[in-house]
C-alpha cells in the first residue's frame, strides 16, 4: 500500500516569476520538472527539490496546453491557441515546429491542426499528436516532422473521439488516448488499430504513466461543468490509477472540488518522477467559472502541486483515508 501527501512548500519561485494556470507538466530523465503554464513565464523549470532553475518561452505561446519530454530530454510543447507543436532543447532553443502558427485547419476536417492538445513519442521516436478541440483525430509524424498517418473522427464508436484531450505511448508501442467527453481511455496499437477501452471514468483530462517496463497510468478526471449535475458527488475532480490491463488500482481525491489537501479544482496535466511522486497542474481559473458560476474566484487559487508518494503500513491501512490510500 502507498499514499500521497501534499507538499505545500515544494515549489520555490523567485519574486519576479509568477505561475499562471497550468496546462501541462513533464519530468525529464534527471527529475527536473517543467511546468507549462499560461502566465508570463510559460516554461518554469524546477529541480527535484523544488528549487527554481530557469524559465523560458516568453512571448512564444498563445495558450499552453500539453507538454512531453523525450528520452533525450527534448521538450515537446502543444499550443492549443496557435495550433502548433514545437520541439525545444531543454534550455528553450527551438528545434522543430509542426503546424502553421495562428492558422487552424477547418473545424472537424481531420486535417492538422485545430486546437491540438498533447503529444507522445513512439519507441521509434515518431510523434503522436492528439487533435483536439476542433478536430477528432490522432496524427503521426516522423521524428523530423513529416506527416505519416492520421486516424479517428468524431463520434462514440471505437476509434472515434469526442475531444481527444491527452495521449501517451508505452515502451511496447501501445497508444493511450484520453477521449474526454466520451468518458474513456482508448487503447490502440502503434499504427492506430483500436484494441480496447477503459471505462468508468469521468471526463479524463490528464494522462501520464510511470517509467516501469509495465507502466502504471495516472488519470486526472475533471468534474462536471453542467448545471444539471453540478452538485453530484463522486464525479471528480480526482486522480484514478490504473494498470496496463485497465484495472483500477486506486483513486486519490475527495468527491467534490475544493482547496483541501485531498481536493482538486481541475487536474489537467500530470507527470510522475523516478520516485513515484506526482506533479499535478490545474486549469483552475478556467474551471472555476464553469463549476462556481457567480462566485468570486480566490486570488490565490491553486494551479500546481506536488504529491509525495509515501508507504502505508499494512497494519494501519484501515485507518488511512480512502481518498489518499492506493494499492500496489
Contact of 103 with 113, CB cutoff 8 Å: no
Q: What is the pLDDT of residue 324?
A: 53
Q: What is the pLDDT of residue 108?
A: 98
The angle subtended at Cα 92 by Cα 88 and Cα 98, nearest 5°, is 30
The torsion angles phi and psi of 163, rounded to 5 degrees, stand at 70, 80
Backbone CA torsion sign across 194, 85, 302, 13: positive
**Beta sheet of 64-69, edge-to-edge order:** 64-69, 75-79, 84-88, 94-98
Instruction: Give the three cell numbers for residue 290.
Output: 464553469
Ordered domains of the chain (ranges, CATH) = 2-326 (2.120.10.30)
Q: Sort 200 into a burial class: Cβ within 10 Å, 0-12 / 13-18 / 19+.
A: exposed
> Which residue shows C-alpha cell 519574486?
15
Helix and strand element counts for the chain (H, E) = 1, 25
> Which residue shows C-alpha cell 495550433?
83
The whole-angstrom separation of Cα 160 and Cα 146 is 24
Instruction: Give the three cell numbers for residue 245.
Output: 490491463
The whole-angstrom separation of Cα 76 and Cα 219 is 20
- pLDDT tens, per residue, the chain with 328 residues: 789 999 989 999 999 999 999 999 999 999 999 999 999 999 999 999 999 999 999 999 999 999 999 999 999 999 999 999 999 999 999 999 999 999 999 999 999 999 999 999 999 999 999 999 999 999 999 999 999 999 999 999 999 999 999 999 999 999 999 999 999 999 999 999 999 999 999 999 999 999 988 999 999 999 988 889 888 888 989 999 999 999 999 999 987 888 888 999 999 999 999 999 999 999 999 999 888 888 999 888 999 999 999 988 765 443 334 445 555 5
**Beta sheet of 137-141, edge-to-edge order:** 116-121, 127-131, 137-141, 147-152
Instruction: Give the three cell numbers for residue 181.
Output: 467527453
The whole-angstrom separation of Cα 310 and Cα 328 is 12
- Cα of first residue to Cα of last residue in the chain, in angstroms, is 5
* Cα–Cα distance list, 196 to 103, 130, 247 (Å): 34, 18, 12
The whole-angstrom separation of Cα 77 and Cα 274 is 22
Q: What is the pLDDT of residue 205?
A: 97
Amino acid at each position: 500500500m502507498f499514499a500521497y501527501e501534499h507538499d505545500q512548500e515544494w515549489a520555490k519561485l523567485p519574486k519576479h516569476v509568477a505561475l499562471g494556470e497550468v496546462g501541462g507538466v513533464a519530468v525529464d530523465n534527471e527529475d527536473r520538472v517543467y511546468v507549462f503554464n499560461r502566465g508570463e513565464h510559460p516554461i518554469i523549470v524546477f529541480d527535484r527539490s523544488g528549487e527554481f532553475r530557469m524559465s523560458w518561452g516568453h512571448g512564444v505561446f498563445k495558450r499552453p496546453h500539453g507538454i512531453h519530454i523525450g528520452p533525450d530530454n527534448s521538450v515537446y510543447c502543444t499550443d492549443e491557441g496557435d495550433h502548433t507543436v514545437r520541439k525545444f532543447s531543454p534550455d528553450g532553443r527551438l528545434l522543430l515546429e509542426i503546424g502553421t502558427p495562428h492558422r487552424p485547419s477547418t473545424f472537424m476536417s481531420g486535417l492538422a491542426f485545430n486546437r491540438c492538445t498533447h503529444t507522445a513519442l513512439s519507441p521509434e521516436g515518431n510523434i503522436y499528436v492528439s487533435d483536439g478541440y476542433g478536430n477528432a483525430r490522432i496524427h503521426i509524424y516522423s521524428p523530423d516532422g513529416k506527416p505519416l498517418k492520421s486516424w479517428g473522427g468524431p463520434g462514440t464508436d471505437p476509434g472515434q473521439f469526442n475531444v481527444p484531450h491527452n495521449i501517451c505511448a508505452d515502451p511496447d508501442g501501445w497508444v493511450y488516448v484520453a477521449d474526454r467527453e466520451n468518458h474513456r481511455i482508448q487503447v490502440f496499437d502503434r499504427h492506430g488499430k483500436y484494441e480496447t477501452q477503459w471505462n468508468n471514468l469521468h471526463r479524463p483530462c490528464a494522462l501520464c504513466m510511470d517509467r516501469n517496463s509495465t507502466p502504471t497510468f495516472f488519470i486526472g478526471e475533471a468534474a462536471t461543468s453542467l448545471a444539471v449535475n453540478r452538485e453530484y458527488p463522486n464525479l471528480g475532480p480526482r486522480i484514478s490509477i490504473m494498470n496496463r490491463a485497465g484495472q483500477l488500482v486506486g483513486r486519490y481525491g475527495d468527491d467534490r472540488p475544493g482547496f483541501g489537501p485531498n481536493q482538486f479544482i481541475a487536474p489537467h496535466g500530470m507527470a510522475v518522477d523516478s520516485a513515484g511522486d506526482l506533479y499535478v497542474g490545474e486549469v483552475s481559473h478556467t474551471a472555476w467559472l464553469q463549476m462556481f458560476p457567480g462566485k468570486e474566484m480566490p486570488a490565490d487559487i491553486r494551479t500546481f502541486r506536488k504529491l509525495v508518494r509515501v508507504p502505508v503500513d499494512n497494519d494501519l491501512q484501515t485507518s488511512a483515508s480512502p481518498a489518499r490510500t492506493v494499492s500496489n
